[in-house]
Structure 1
Amino acid sequence: MIVHFYTRPGCHLCEDARLMLKLVQEDISFEIKEINIEENDELHEKYMLMIPVVELENNIIQYGQIDYATILDALLP
């Protein structure tokens, strides 16, 4: 399972979200694919007001304030 994590440098919410994803990763096995939206104009336009964004299989799980329970529930089988 690959979770896409949209972020950009200097984003404090992104740093918190990264830590939250790593906490969830301790309970469920998944890969985090971190994507810097500033490297892609289309992604930057799409997510610039939403980051951080956590996405699984093209579905946004959560954005902005990322919490453990929401991510865990979305990734459980």
Structure 2
Amino acid sequence: MTPVGRGAPRVTLYSRPGCHLCDEARLVVEQVCAELGEAYTEVDVDGDAALARRYGEEVPVTFVDGRQHDFWRVDPTRLRAALGGPGASGGA
């Protein structure tokens, strides 16, 4: 795990090297977390056999506050809302 940002990470991005969807998701997560002052962590599913079995076909997978939020693509508006950012209307 690689924590990025300040405080305890609220967002976890499960990914793997060489995954173009993971690269796109990382950019969205980085942008939204930086905008809101939130921390995130990234986990390489290939580093753990159980994670590779569980998420291998769905990466990238994002979790917010310990709950699965998205897979394959990360929508910045939904992520912002889940984190209670500007424009959030009652949560995700």
Pair in the same fold by TM > 0.5: yes
Q: Describe the superposition over 1:11-67 as per-residue Cα deviations: whole angstroms up to 9, x where unpaired.
A: 000000010011102321111111000000110001011110110232111111111
Letter in 1 for 2:66: N
Give the distance between the partners of 1:18 and 1:32, measured in 2 at CA: 10
Structure (1 or 2) with the greater helix fraction: 1
Higher Cα Rg, which structure: 2
Give the secondary-structure state (helix, strand or coil) at the position aligned to 2:35. coil
Higher relative contact order (CA 8 A, sep 6+): 1
Deviates more, 1:35-44 or 1:24-33: 24-33
Letter in 1 for 2:64: L
Unaligned runs of 5+ in 1: none
Q: Kindly tell me the number of residue pairs found equivalent between the two proteins.
A: 77
- The ranges of structure 1 where at least 4 consecutive aligned residues each deviate by more than 6 angstroms after the TM superposition are none
TM-score by length of 2: 0.77
Letter in 1 for 2:70: Q
**2:44 matched to which residue of 1?**
36
TM-score by length of 1: 0.91
CA-based RMSD of the aligned residues comes to: 1.3
Letter in 2 for 1:47: Y
Deviates more, 1:25-34 or 1:41-50: 25-34
Percent identity of the aligned residues? 27
